[in-house]
Chains A and B, each alone.
Chain A
Amino acid sequence: MIQVVLPRNLQTLAGTGRTVELDVSGQATQRSVLDALEARYPALLGTIRDPGTKRRRPMLRFFACEEDLSDQPIDAPLPSEVASGKEPYLILGAIAGGLEI
């Protein structure tokens, strides 16, 4: 099972805890993990990826194994530690100082 860590606002929206476990069929890639996440929690549709283009929303980042995967090819295999569930796939909001929030 792949572990995905969600930021607080998406936990609230999905009605889940900080970490969700996903059974991803086939090779684990960022696309397959995000597809599985959105299928399991439809409330998250459009909040991580643009609903039309499916591109990462600009103020979000994807980390795993101490690496920033945000701009890596979305169909590239995830690290084996993530695929095996040993390490989580982290979705987090970028630090955004200066915005009126």
Chain B
Amino acid sequence: MSKVRVLVGTRKGAFILDSDGTRKSWDVQGPLFPGWEIYHLKGSPVDPDRLYASQSSGWFGQVMQRSSDAGKTWETVGNQFLYEGEVGPHKWYDGSPHPYEFKRVWHLEPSLHDADSVYAGAEDAALFQSKDGGTSWAELPGIRTHKTAAEWAPGAGGLCLHTIIIDPTNHDRIFIAISSAGAFRTDDAGKTWRAINHGLRSNHIPDPDAEVGHCVHRLAMHPSKPETLYMQKHWDVMRTDDGGENWREVSGNLPTDFGFVIDVNSNDPETVYVLPITSDSLHYVPDGKLSVYRSKTGGDDWEALTKGLPQEDCYVNVLRDAMAVDGLDPCGVYFGTSGGQVYASADDGDSWNAVVRDLPGVLSVEVQTLK
């Protein structure tokens, strides 16, 4: 029988949740790296026992961890993230030039073909790659030296490169997103990048449909349909069907189109999940009710999924990397909250159960489907 392994990064350590394919009962392992912020951990699709974790601390900086036995043991690997060449400025919050400086790794994206190869998305916005299992890291400077990079300014969470999606049909094509610069695509494995923000409209920037400056919170793709991507922007849920050349809004009947997470059902590229958050000043769910919204039409028409989720006195947030889907049928959907709950659905989102309720605030959730 298939199994699922849910990897949870929190503000005070990591947790691993294991279940069989029924996804009814769970074993909880953790906290791993207690006391440390675990921004993200993710397994290799080539070797599911190979896990990578980004461990960081305001005091002690960045640490990288690697496991070769599915999280039973870990070893520290390289944590030197040096920007290549002359490091120019980006805009600071007050508009003044501010030098790019490494702060932390937000997101790890293991290669689709080599367990020792992994990408790391960093704050300040930069993309790094390791080809030796995390022992050493080299910047792919094309994105940080993009012609618009001096104009990028950090969002409230920092100038972070937080989303990395590799096209499964063409590994040289990679999509990334940066808050608050926008979405970018490379077609040559990271050497050159182009902004792919046509169709986005953001009222918090002087030119609402500018080439860059959009606060993209998250991108999602179904591997069978790599030309189609979904985006949760600061405000607005968006969709492209031409690899990011053009975007259109699909917020439809959502109660609010502010939010952080977005994901696609593993069995249907037109079934999409978002989790609306009240607003950019009220970072909690609307009306004290925790609801996932699902569209079975690729956007525009959304239905609230509430069975098993708290519908009163709930004021949590769900951060951008804190939703994931498994590869089973029906699709399992998982998300973690700022209040430390991890909710799981084993039926495409129709109903939910809390796997754990009292973890530290959840920063990231990933799922591995194990045959």
Residue from A9, A52, A99 in contact with B60 in the complex, judged by beta carbons closer than 8 Å: A9
Please tell me if the beta carbons of B79 and A12 are within 8 angstroms of each other in the complex: no
Please tell me if the beta carbons of B76 and A42 are within 8 angstroms of each other in the complex: yes
We find that the number of chain B residues with CB closer than 8 angstroms to chain A is 16
Residue picked from B36, B61, B62, B80, most chain A C-beta under 10 Å: B61
List residues of chain B with CB within 8 A of the CB of A7.
59
| Closest Cβ neighbor of A15 among chain B residues | B76
Please tell me if the beta carbons of A96 and B61 are within 8 angstroms of each other in the complex: no
Residue picked from A50, A51, A94, A99, most chain B C-beta under 10 Å: A51
Q: Is B308 an interface residue (CB 8 A)?
A: no
Please tell me if the beta carbons of B36 and A46 are within 8 angstroms of each other in the complex: no
Q: Is A20 an interface residue (CB 8 A)?
A: no
Please tell me if the beta carbons of A101 and B33 are within 8 angstroms of each other in the complex: no
Q: A9-B36, A43-B76 are in contact. Are A59 and B63 (CB under 8 A)?
A: no
B2-35 to A contact mask, C-beta < 8 Å, 1/0: 0000000001000000000000000000000111
Q: A8-B35, A43-B63, A46-B63 are in contact. Are A51 and B58 (CB under 8 A)?
A: no
CB distance from B327 to the nearest CB of A (A): 34
Complex: A10 Cα to B55 Cα, angstroms = 12
B22-60 to A contact mask, C-beta < 8 Å, 1/0: 000000000001111000000000000000000001111
A77-101 to B contact mask, C-beta < 8 Å, 1/0: 0000000000000000110100101
List residues of chain A with CB within 8 A of the CB of B59.
7, 9, 57, 59-60, 93-94, 96
Please tell me if the beta carbons of B80 and A52 are within 8 angstroms of each other in the complex: yes
List residues of chain A with CB within 8 A of the CB of B356.
none
Q: Is A24 an interface residue (CB 8 A)?
A: no
List residues of chain A with CB within 8 A of the CB of B79.
45-47, 51
List residues of chain A with CB within 8 A of the CB of B35.
8-9, 12
Q: Is B82 an interface residue (CB 8 A)?
A: yes
Interface residues in B185-240 by Cβ distance below 8 A to A read: none
Please tell me if the beta carbons of B58 and A46 are within 8 angstroms of each other in the complex: no
Complex: A22 Cα to B61 Cα, angstroms = 24
Please classify the interface of chain A as helix (H, G, I), strand (E, B), loop, or mixed, using the class held by over half of its residues: loop
Complex: A8 Cα to B62 Cα, angstroms = 16
| Closest Cβ neighbor of B35 among chain A residues | A9
| Closest Cβ neighbor of A7 among chain B residues | B59
List residues of chain B with CB within 8 A of the CB of A52.
80, 82
Please tell me if the beta carbons of A10 and B60 are within 8 angstroms of each other in the complex: yes
Complex: A75 Cα to B35 Cα, angstroms = 32
Interface residues in A1-53 by Cβ distance below 8 A to B read: 7-10, 12-13, 42-43, 45-48, 50-52
Please tell me if the beta carbons of A46 and B33 are within 8 angstroms of each other in the complex: no
List residues of chain B with CB within 8 A of the CB of A45.
79
Please tell me if the beta carbons of B76 and A48 are within 8 angstroms of each other in the complex: no
List residues of chain A with CB within 8 A of the CB of B80.
46, 51-52
| Closest Cβ neighbor of A49 among chain B residues | B61
Ordered by A's residue number, 20 sampled pairs between the chains whose C-beta atoms are within 8 Å are: A8-B35, A9-B35, A9-B36, A9-B57, A9-B59, A12-B33, A12-B35, A13-B36, A43-B76, A46-B80, A47-B60, A47-B79, A51-B80, A51-B82, A57-B61, A59-B58, A60-B60, A96-B58, A99-B58, A101-B58
**Apart from A12-B34, A46-B79, A47-B57: 15 A-B pairs, beta carbons within 8 A:** A7-B59, A12-B36, A13-B36, A43-B76, A45-B79, A46-B61, A46-B62, A47-B60, A47-B79, A50-B61, A57-B61, A59-B58, A94-B59, A96-B59, A101-B58
